[in-house]
Structure 1
Amino acid sequence: MHSIKSYTAHEINKAEQRSGKVWQDESHDRLIRNEKELREKLPYTANNPIKSKLAETHADYEWLYVKGWIERGG
């Protein structure tokens, strides 16, 4: 997981022309076991960039990989 976070943090900072911490320290991981749990957790994850003021809307956040899913209502 470290290499994914390191790579994406570097790319996000480069794209945003900024530096510094992108990811919070992890306290625990959560395994998603089925599609029902995935549908429960995706809205929370998708809204994080908006809550943290990295974007005003989902469409504004290029790193969000579930835009189509959100636009279709989940």
Structure 2
Amino acid sequence: MSSSRLRTGRCSLPGHTYVLTTVCHNRRRWFEDPDTAAIAMNRLHDLDQRGHARSLAWVVMPDHVHWLLELGTSSLHDVARRFKSSSALAINRSHRRGGTFWQSGYHDHAVRTDASLRQHALYLLGSPVRAGLTATIGDYPYAWCAWPLDP
């Protein structure tokens, strides 16, 4: 599906909260390497620092990233583009390679209520548990949340 078709119906409002998921090209498990996962986490932090978004929670899974964010000064499309571009460039550079790093497009979901926000955060942070990477929420080293969550 083309990127323009993926954007159909997408709404991007400053100050609103979204879940964004992006997947590595061919689902390659790049983020099993701690240094590569650190690059992705640093890019999320950089976007926060620059005011493009405010991270509420994220998890860097072996082959994809889930990100719960509040939009800042940029559109959702711009935030996704900035994250994917900057992380791909840095990761490709660190591995002395070129080529495609991320699959085209991304999945997003607008979060509309506080209850939904909590549910999305728990779902996102529970991904490593469901994947068998850790036994409990909070034990996975490549996940972060802005507030404590009791499952």
Which TM-score applies when normalising by structure 1? 0.54
**1:31 lines up with 2:110 in the alignment:** yes
- Partners of 2:138 and 2:146 in 1: CA distance: 7
Structure ranking higher in strand proportion = 2
Structure 1 runs of 4+ with >3 Å offset:
24-28, 33-36
Provide the C-alpha distance between the structure 1 equivalents of 2:136 and 2:147, rounded to a whole number of angstroms. 13
Paired position in structure 1 for 2:32: 13
Identical-residue share of aligned pairs (%)? 17
Task: Name stretches of at least 5 consecutive residues in structure 1 with no aligned partner.
Answer: none
Aligned Cα root-mean-square deviation (Å): 3.9
Paired residues in the alignment total 65
Q: Is the helix fraction higher in 1 or 2?
A: 1
CA–CA separation in structure 1 for the residues paired with 2:63 and 2:145: 19
Could you say which residue in structure 2 is the equivalent of 1:51? 130
57-66 or 22-31: which moved more?
22-31
Matched, 1:40 2:81: no
Shift in Å at residue 68 of structure 1? 5.1
Separation in 1 of the partners of 2:130 and 2:124? Answer: 10
Give the structure, 1 or 2, with the largest relative contact order (CA under 8 Å, sep 6 or more): 2
Bigger Cα Rg: 2
- Residue 65 of structure 1 aligns to a residue whose secondary structure is strand
